[in-house]
Amino acid sequence: MSVQCIERDIIQQETTVTVSTLSDCSTQLTSTQTTYDTQYSQDKSDLSFNLAQCNNTDTSDEEELYDEDCVDITDNHNVTDRVNAEYCDNKYLVFDSQLQKLFKHCTSTDCNSAVSIIKRQLIGTMLIVKYTCANGHTNTWRSQPYMRHMPAGHLLLSAAILLSGSTYGQINKLCTILNLPIFSKSVFYRIQNTYLNPSVNEYWTMHQTAVLSVLSDTAVKLCGDARSDSPGFSAKYTSYTLMDLDTSLIVDQQLVCVTEPDVNSSVAMEKVAMSRSLEFLHSSGLKIHTLATDRHTGVRSFIKENYPEINHQFDVWHIEKNITKKLHKKALKREASELMPWIRHIANHLYWSAQTCNGDGELLREKWMSCIHHIANVHAWNGEKLVHCEHGEVDDNTCWLEIDSPAHLALKQVVLDKKLLKDIVQLSDFCHTGALEVYHSMLLKYAPKRLHFNYAGMQTRLQLAAIDHNYNVDRKVAKDKEGNPAVKQAYTKAKKHWILRNVYEGKQYTYIAEIMNNIIKRRLDLTIKMDDTSCNISLPVMKETIAVIEKPSMEEAKAKKYSRINN
Ligand SMILES: [Zn+2]
Ligand SMILES: [Zn+2]
């Protein structure tokens, strides 16, 4: 950042502060004896917005306002203005020592006498200060406005946590370090269930409907891939994402939990999730011409049996990765080590074969197999559709493999593998699911694998990731100082070399303001009550636990551990 930029930033910040609120604060620095309510300094254990707590303490107006059944809302007729005012309002990080300077003199009309008693109360993120002057006037100041009796900060901070892809745990830790009071975890989840999940879900549904209607004109080419929260057999959730290959827009996403009754193993989740997605798209009238997937067990036969009209393709990258891995393993053996320098060329040959076969699976297969001749310095052979290499003169210094040498035999074993030769025709449309891989790595921001989320929370995070992706799908490559496309160097661990990557323009999050407004409107809707289960998003029927055997009693478990230690 240039110096000018930093300066401009500082000037802007100063200007904002001056014009907005300092006039309200009328700081007066005369000293006054004050007594502080002990609740703030001593009892930080429950700072939450808790109805029971509010009903049990003294009977001031403050507590009455927490009554969820109270429906009196001033300015209810002007929801839009309230929404914008409360969301767009600046919030500040105010220090206690600075705040104390404000409550020195009475603010009642024409009084201005010294404040004698100050009582302070903390409800989650909201500070309430009640102060009484020598003339007996009592005034109340709150650090936040209410949104239907809920401190606005509770709703807005909860929404900000979720919409930014963060978690309550992370923000709570940040607040603890800063000594910044925050509401409890249970308040966050109640707000998430009642206001956040339904609003995000509604927004995603609206967005998805729009995407599907744009794509409904012609039969689409899709790619699909699964993502599990942990590898292999221990996964609790698997999500399946279907993306349009032409536009890279996500068209559907399904979440499957291992505790759902029609899932009998964590490996089966991918197929269940994919079939739900295809069923949904089918029912919404989307015509699917092509579907590209990896070679997951059961997926091929499932599509063949249930959607025979779909042109099922495999992702070139997945197959290339698999071939490269096998070749590498063979080339590590000393007798076949001459194969090693060829591996990168063989991978490229697969891409070339798929790209230049013009949709002809048989031609693709022959092109692919021709590498066993070429690498042995044989450039013509007997074939059906292809009888010679398509390159020009070859370099005499190339380290060709000797025909039927151990390295050449190893190559043939991989290239001519029966399953591979059967599958390879399904690369004829040269489909990539690379954009999905990128999406799945971005999804980690919203749903890190090491964290546990409940089903509804996981679903919401998937929807937020998909919206984030779809809204930023058309990002352009950024320009460098000279106006050329910006690039950066990156090292690829898989291929062990440096490549140039495009640098894209920053992401746009215009949808966040819209979802935020929907969340606030939902809170201001008198018909929706906190914890009302009818507004929870619908969940699939689940078994109670992912465990397949009954939980032993604590005594039994302890006894077992104890005996193991002794043995
Ligand atoms: Zn007064
Ligand atoms: Zn050749």
Q: Give the pLDDT confidence of 320-339 residue by residue, as tens digits.
A: 999 999 999 999 999 989 99
Three-state secondary-structure class, residue 373: helix
Q: How far is the CA of 403 from the centre of ligand 2 (A)?
A: 14
Q: How far is the CA of 374 from the centre of ligand 2 (A)?
A: 4
Average pLDDT, integer, range 168-186: 96
Question: In the chain, how many domains are there?
Answer: 3
- Tell whether 372 and 499 lie within a shared domain: no
- Tell whether 370 and 491 lie within a shared domain: no
- Say if 327 falls within a structural domain: no
- Say if 245 falls within a structural domain: no
- Tell whether 40 and 184 lie within a shared domain: yes
Cα 466 to Cα 451: distance, rounded to the nearest angstrom: 19
Q: How far is the CA of 353 from the centre of ligand 2 (A)?
A: 13
Q: How far is the CA of 430 from the centre of ligand 2 (A)?
A: 22
Looking at 364, 392, 427, the residue that finishes a domain is: 427
Tokens of 283: 């029912």
Residue pair 492/228 in contact by the 8 Å Cβ criterion: no
Q: How far is the CA of 341 from the centre of ligand 2 (A)?
A: 16
Interval 402-421: pLDDT, tens? 999 999 999 999 999 999 99
- Tell whether 65 and 178 lie within a shared domain: yes
Helix or strand (DSSP H, E) at 492: strand 487-492
Interval 468-527: pLDDT, tens? 999 999 888 888 888 888 888 888 776 677 888 888 888 888 899 999 999 999 999 988
Interval 250-308: pLDDT, tens? 999 999 988 887 777 767 888 889 999 999 999 999 999 999 998 877 788 889 899 99
Q: How far is the CA of 408 from the centre of ligand 2 (A)?
A: 15
At a CB cut-off of 8 Å and minimum separation 6, what does 529 contact? Answer: 68, 194
Position 318 scores a pLDDT of: 87
- Say if 255 falls within a structural domain: no
Cα 311 to Cα 429: distance, rounded to the nearest angstrom: 10
Count of CB atoms situated within 10 Å of the CB of 339: 25
Model pTM score: 0.76
Tokens of 418: 């029966």
Average pLDDT, integer, range 147-175: 95
- Tell whether 38 and 119 lie within a shared domain: yes
Q: How far is the CA of 161 from the centre of ligand 2 (A)?
A: 58
- Say if 234 falls within a structural domain: no
- Tell whether 165 and 38 lie within a shared domain: yes
The answer to whether residue 44 scores a pLDDT higher than 90 is no
- Say if 2 falls within a structural domain: no
Ligand in nearest proximity to the CA of 131? 1
Looking at 373, 401, 427, the residue that finishes a domain is: 427
- Tell whether 388 and 501 lie within a shared domain: no
Q: How far is the CA of 399 from the centre of ligand 2 (A)?
A: 13
- Tell whether 406 and 490 lie within a shared domain: no
Tokens of 542: 């689940």
Ligand in nearest proximity to the CA of 104? 1
- Tell whether 165 and 64 lie within a shared domain: yes
Q: How far is the CA of 132 from the centre of ligand 1 (A)?
A: 7
Looking at 129, 164, 198, the residue that finishes a domain is: 198
- Say if 547 falls within a structural domain: no
The domain in which residue 480 lies consists of 473-506
Average pLDDT, integer, range 156-177: 96
- Say if 122 falls within a structural domain: yes
- Tell whether 346 and 493 lie within a shared domain: no
Q: How far is the CA of 375 from the centre of ligand 2 (A)?
A: 7
Q: Is 387 exposed, middle or buried (0-12, 13-18, 19+ CB in 10 A)?
A: exposed
Q: How far is the CA of 123 from the centre of ligand 1 (A)?
A: 26
Count of CB atoms situated within 10 Å of the CB of 198: 20
Q: How far is the CA of 113 from the centre of ligand 1 (A)?
A: 5
- Say if 316 falls within a structural domain: no
Cα 517 to Cα 76: distance, rounded to the nearest angstrom: 15
- Tell whether 157 and 101 lie within a shared domain: yes
- Tell whether 110 and 192 lie within a shared domain: yes
